[in-house]
Homo-oligomer: A and B are copies of this chain.
Amino acid sequence: MNTPDTVIDTYLASWNEPDPEARSRLIEAAWTGDGRHVDPLADVTGHAALGELVAGLQAQFPDHRIRRVGSIDAHHDQLRFAWVLVAPDDTVVVAATATDVGELAPDGQAAAHQRLLQADATSRSARGRARPRRLQRISAFFGPMPDAVAA
């Protein structure tokens, strides 16, 4: 069973994997076949297009890495996390963190997954039979909320 952490770890590893074949395997593990990534600069759907998106960023920023900042905030099938693009010397390329909001696909086992999460430990052995959940969508925003000062 994928947890939000393992899905996002796999997702971020795909952004940082220079080998195309290894990257494709990570993308297939992290994303549903019709998974969609939409950010201010791109809107792509499916494993092949996701791979091209990653390759494009790597070509533009060689040897840079996407690094998650802070923990993953998750509820239901929704999750959010912050990230930065860092240069090989570990400096942050974009000063402000970006935010990704993702949605996990049910992969046919969402209801069972929810029940298991709420069940007691005696049910835990059944978890291994559930298919791993993958990303259905990542909606990314660059930088902080626009002029959203505390009220």
Contact = CB atoms under 8 A, between A and B. Distances in A.
Contacts of A80: 99, 101, 141, 145
B141 A76 contact: no
Interface string A128-151: 000000000001010001111111
A59 B148 CA distance: 28
Contacts of A73: 141, 145-146
Contacts of A145: 70, 73, 80-82, 97, 99
A76 B150 contact: no
Interface string A82-115: 1010100000100111010101000000000000
A22 interface: no
- Name, among A70, A75, A86, the residue most crowded by chain B CB atoms within 10 Å (CB to CB): A75
A77 interface: yes
Contact of A86 (B40, B67, B151): B151
25 contacts: A39-B75, A40-B75, A43-B76, A69-B148, A69-B150, A70-B146, A70-B148, A71-B146, A71-B148, A73-B141, A75-B141, A78-B139, A80-B99, A80-B145, A81-B145, A81-B148, A82-B148, A84-B151, A95-B150, A97-B145, A97-B148, A97-B151, A99-B145, A101-B101, A103-B139
Interface of A: 38-40, 43, 67, 69-73, 75-78, 80-82, 84, 86, 92, 95-97, 99, 101, 103, 139, 141, 145-151
